[in-house]
Structure 1
Amino acid sequence: MNRDSYQDMLAEVRAFHEKHRFHETGGEELTYRVALMAEELGEISSCVTKGKSKQALAEEVADLLILVMGTAIAEDFDLNQAFWDKMEKLSIRESRMINGRIRVSEFRDVD
């Protein structure tokens, strides 16, 4: 196993889904997965606002990554390709300072 390989990470998440029979037991239902991702974002926010350790933050971010990868498995899309497609789009976007922070987006000026 190559711990730096996306494919190996994906295989681990897929094995976790199979071990717990997520497909048969509702663990791959999209609305449920979105709720779990929102819960993880709350835990990430708590790490930041409560000044928890980087290790605690890393663990919560890893939880979110596992959920995102599992959603790609559940919904049968190529997250690796989606990542590269999105990075290509982001690379040509402009950035702006908004309220003192940088923002990269598809800015639409409203008349």
Structure 2
Amino acid sequence: MNPDSYKDMLDAVQSFHDKHRFRETGGEEMTYRISLMAEELGEISSCVTKGKSKESLAEEVADLLILVMGTAIAQEFDLKQAFWDKMEKLNKRDSRMVNGRIRVSEFRDVD
């Protein structure tokens, strides 16, 4: 196992899905997965707002990453390719200050 290999990370998540039979037992159902991701976002928010340690934050973000990678497995899409495709789009976008914070988006001016 190479800890720097995306393929090895994806294989580890696939192995976890296989071990617990996610495909056969509802673990890959999208409504369920979305609720799990929302739960993890809440835990990430709690880490930030309650001033928890960086280690706690890292663990919660890792949970979310595992869920996102598992979603790619469940929905059978290439997350790595989707990442690079999206980065290409993002790099072509402009940024603006919105309410004192930087935003990078497809800004549409409304008349």
Range class of TM-score, shorter chain: over 0.9
**Unaligned regions of 5+ residues in structure 1, if any?**
none
Separation of aligned partners in 2, 1:61 and 1:40: 8
Offset, 1:4: 0.4
Q: How does 1:56-95 map to 2 (within 5 A)?
A: 56-95=56-95
Offset, 1:11: 0.1
Give the TM-score of the pair, scaled to structure 2.
0.99
Q: Deviations over 1:9-47 (max 9, x none)?
A: 000000000000000000000000000000000000000
- 1:96 is paired with a residue whose SS is strand
- 1:71 is paired with a residue whose SS is helix
Offset, 1:2: 0.8
Amino acid at match of 1:37: M
Give the TM-score of the pair, scaled to structure 1.
0.99
Offset, 1:100: 0.7
Greater RCO between the two (CA within 8 Å, min separation 6)? 1
- 2:62 is paired with a residue whose SS is helix
Amino acid at match of 2:100: G
Q: How does 1:22-101 map to 2 (within 5 A)?
A: 22-101=22-101
CA-atom RMSD in angstroms? 0.3
**Unaligned regions of 5+ residues in structure 2, if any?**
none
Offset, 1:77: 0.2
Separation of aligned partners in 2, 1:37 and 1:83: 18
Q: 2:42 aligned with 1:3, yes or no?
A: no
2:12 is aligned to 12
Q: Which runs of 4+ in 1 moved over 4 A?
A: none
Offset, 1:56: 0.1
